[in-house]
Amino acid sequence: MSNARATHLTRRGILAAGGALGLGAVLAACGDDDAKSGGSGEESSAAKKSGPWTFKDDRDKSVELDKIPANIVAFTGVAAALYDYGISVKGVFGPTKTTDGKADVQAGDMDISKVTILGNVWDQFNVEKYAALAPDVLISTMFDDAGTLWYVPEASKDKISALAPSVGISVYDRQLTAPLERMWELAESLGADMTASTVTEAKKKFEAAATRLRAAAKAKPEIKVMAGSASQDIFYVSGTNLSIDLEYFKALGVNFVEPPEKAKAEGGGWYESLSWENVDKYAADIIMMDDRSSTIQPADITEATWKKLPAVKAGQIISRSPEPILSYDKCTPLLDTLAEALENAKKVS
């Protein structure tokens, strides 16, 4: 959401977009909040290797170290992607643990008991614990073109940047395949075995899923898909521009609901905000709903206007991951889920 006005955006609304520009200026910084630790992380497989390490990130900044970093700290979703490639991190920040103590959806297959959780919610990042990890590098995604590292608090970013160099992977205004390739390159640079059968097979399955989705979209061009996200007072309808998953799905032929640019202005170009009374503004046959823990899930939506939507009554609701874990293994189900929904969908709008 670029150029969003703070007075018109709620904290949940910002998270609903899947990204934001200048978030520190939009949200009040909470400082270096304490966060519960899940324990010390396992040593990265890259630590067993030696030699200098260089990586040029999506800010065109190159990090150069004497050896491949062993003490890696990363945004939770990035850590989950690296885990799929065999790279472990020491610490994480971002949604990692749910209120019942289970792994957040963005933690993927990571054992969260083996990493130090520096912050679990927005603006929470324990700088003292970060320093104690003796970090070699910090890695996060970026949801803008200004180089803002996702979930690194504005109030403490200078302290954090002084402790270790950082790497940013852009997930802004590009198709999903681009950041997937960048995460592959990053994992490989960190010592991952990209020739392992699990890795190569995962990429083949992703490509097959893309072919399936393209075919499903071509066969059902009349099916309209809406990307939504729910909060207590607002229903957010995302446009396809800016979001890596929706841009890619659209390129494969999926027919999406597209709020006009003027309607998305308040959401910085990412989404239109609707009251629950107006949730039926757009006709849709399939609704993709934000699966992040910061949002209300479909089963918990009690609004009568929601229950009257044709797609809801037809049971044509699927999950969406606005912040996909950037490994081929984790992104393949996103394509397959949408493809299956299209294959089975009935025109109800």
- DSSP sequence for 265-316: GGGTTSEEEEEGGGTTSS--SEEEEE-STTS--GGG---HHHHTSHHHHTT-
Q: CA angle, 90 as apex, 84 and 96 as ends, to 5°?
A: 65
For residue 96, give Cα distances in angstroms to 59, 177, 204, 314: 26, 24, 29, 33
Q: What is the pLDDT along the chain (349 residues), one digit of tens a residue?
A: 333 322 233 333 444 444 333 333 333 333 344 433 333 334 444 444 567 999 999 999 999 999 999 999 999 999 999 999 999 999 999 999 999 999 999 999 999 999 999 999 999 999 999 999 999 999 999 999 999 999 999 999 999 999 999 999 999 999 999 999 999 999 999 999 999 999 999 999 999 999 999 999 999 999 999 999 999 999 999 999 999 999 999 999 999 999 999 999 999 999 999 999 999 999 999 999 999 999 999 999 999 999 999 999 999 999 999 999 999 999 999 999 999 999 999 999 9
Phi, psi of 204 (to 5 degrees): -65, -40
Cβ atoms within 10 Å of 105's Cβ, excluding its own: 18
What pLDDT score does 17 carry?
A: 47
Q: What pTM was estimated for this model as a whole?
A: 0.88
* Residues 136, 43 contacting (CB under 8 angstroms): no
Residue 180 and residue 194: Cα distance in Å, rounded? 13
pLDDT at position 51 is: 79
151, containing H or E segment? none
> Starting at the edge strand that comes first in sequence, how are the strands of the sheet with 166-170 ordered?
116-119, 91-93, 72-75, 137-142, 166-170
Integer Cα distance of 152 and 223 in angstroms: 39
pLDDT of residue 254: 98
